[in-house]
């Protein structure tokens, strides 16, 4: 079960469609690129298939795979990038959903060999923190997962060199918003450096924000809220 308010396979299929469409509308998944997944239960994942536009994907298109990426059900093929999803689920038992997409500005950083690890604004600390850069790996191969593994346990979003980005969370909503935030932070960093006067936060400032975030997360969890959104878990974006 995915801890998002959806407890049925039908509900999770609808969530995958909803957030696939939002990513498409944002321009994060041009063509048939990108893929999303959720935990269906302790042994299975529900995943967007290969070769389908995220703006046009249907609930019936989704495929079910085991934790080795083997197809269990569905009329379409499993994405060749399933290994990056499996790597995250394998290391993070708290993760219930994974999003891979190609947000333009963040991908430009990845194509320039630059991580988003310069903390320029408070929002970065309060949301995804520093976003590391995984070394170059050929898409659709096990090398992608291997390049991500050093960062998965300590980060909730990763840039993939010359490729795109991956984000993950308890729910699809959290994973989606982290991807959205990564692109926002990349745009802020780009403009700040274009202005020529970027001023990163100091160590003490970052530590103060980290303490504030810890208290915030504790408070919203007591209230049954999503730490990322401040909203009740189970909130989803309407079509």
Which positions are catalytic? 81
| CA–CA gap between residue 221 and residue 90 (Å, rounded) | 24
| CA–CA gap between residue 232 and residue 19 (Å, rounded) | 17
Residue 87: closest CA among 143, 148, 34, 134: 148
| CA–CA gap between residue 171 and residue 73 (Å, rounded) | 22
Relative orientation angle of helices 9-25 and 172-195, to the nearest 10 degrees = 20
| CA–CA gap between residue 47 and residue 26 (Å, rounded) | 20
Residue 175: closest CA among 19, 21, 12: 19
Residue whose pair of structure tokens reads 């991956």 in the numeric block: 166
| CA–CA gap between residue 136 and residue 126 (Å, rounded) | 28
Backbone angles phi, psi at 235, to 5 degrees: -65, 135
Over 20-73, what HEC string results? HHHHHHCCCCCCCCCEEEEECCCCEEEECECCCCCCCCCHHHCEEEECCCCEEE
């Amino acid at each position: 079960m995915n801890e998002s308010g959806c407890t049925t396979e039908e509900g999770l299929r609808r969530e995958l469609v909803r957030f696939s469409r939002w990513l498409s509308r944002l321009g994060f998944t041009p063509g048939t690129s990108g893929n999303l997944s959720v935990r269906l239960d302790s042994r299975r994942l529900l995943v967007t298939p290969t070769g389908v536009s995220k703006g046009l994907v249907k609930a019936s298109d989704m495929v079910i795979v085991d934790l080795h990426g083997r197809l269990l059900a569905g009329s379409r093929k499993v994405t060749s990038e399933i290994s990056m999803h499996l790597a995250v689920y394998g290391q993070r038992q708290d993760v219930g959903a994974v999003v891979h997409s190609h947000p333009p500005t963040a991908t430009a950083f990845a194509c320039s060999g630059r991580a988003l690890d310069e903390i320029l604004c408070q929002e970065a600390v309060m949301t995804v923190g520093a976003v590391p850069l995984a070394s170059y790996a050929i898409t659709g191969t096990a090398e992608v997962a291997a390049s991500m593994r050093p960062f998965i346990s300590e980060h909730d979003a990763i840039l993939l060199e010359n490729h795109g980005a991956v984000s993950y969370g308890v729910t699809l909503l959290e994973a989606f918003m982290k991807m959205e935030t990564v692109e926002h932070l990349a745009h802020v960093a780009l403009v700040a450096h274009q202005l020529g006067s970027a001023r990163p936060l100091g160590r003490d400032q970052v530590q103060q924000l980290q303490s504030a975030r810890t208290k915030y997360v504790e408070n919203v969890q007591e209230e049954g809220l999503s730490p990322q959104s401040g909203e009740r878990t189970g909130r989803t974006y309407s079509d």
